[in-house]
Amino acid sequence: MDKGKEVLHDPVFQKNIFTITLKVLRGLFYKLLIGKSKGFMFIGKGVSIRQARNIEVGRNFKAEDFCEIQGLARVMKFGDNVTIGRCAMIRPTGY
């Protein structure tokens, strides 16, 4: 059997592809709500983004599982290649 075909039938590989696809789909949904965004957004499961219209993100933005971002500030900007870690909470000072 060809090595490439073995990889495609590997259950771990298939699960990873499925997980990445879900993150991209969530990213596409949040891309509609976010104030400004460039490139891809990868959004993990259980992510909470409030006041999304006040948030701007650069290319390859990643919000890992169960993190919380509250855009209650005037504008909250994240640059390119930013990753918000698992279970992290980003809130403005006056929260």
Could you please report the per-residue DSSP string of 62-90?
Answer: EE-TT-EEE--SS-EEE-TT-EEPTT-EE
Structure tokens at 45: 């499961």
pTM higher than 0.85 for the full model? Answer: no
pLDDT band at 15 (very low <50, low <70, confident <90, very high): confident
Smallest CA-to-CA distance from 68 within 39, 46, 83, 93 is with: 46
Cα–Cα distances in Å, from 47 out to 32, 68, 70, 88?
16, 6, 11, 10
pLDDT per residue as tens digits for the range 27-77: 999 999 999 999 999 999 999 999 999 999 999 999 999 999 999 888 899
User: Tell me, what's the pLDDT at 13?
Assistant: 73
Would you state the structure tokens that stand for residue 71, as one six-digit string?
């855009």
pLDDT at 92: 84
User: Are 85 and 64 within 8 A, CB to CB?
Assistant: yes
Confidence of residue 6 (pLDDT cuts 50, 70, 90): low
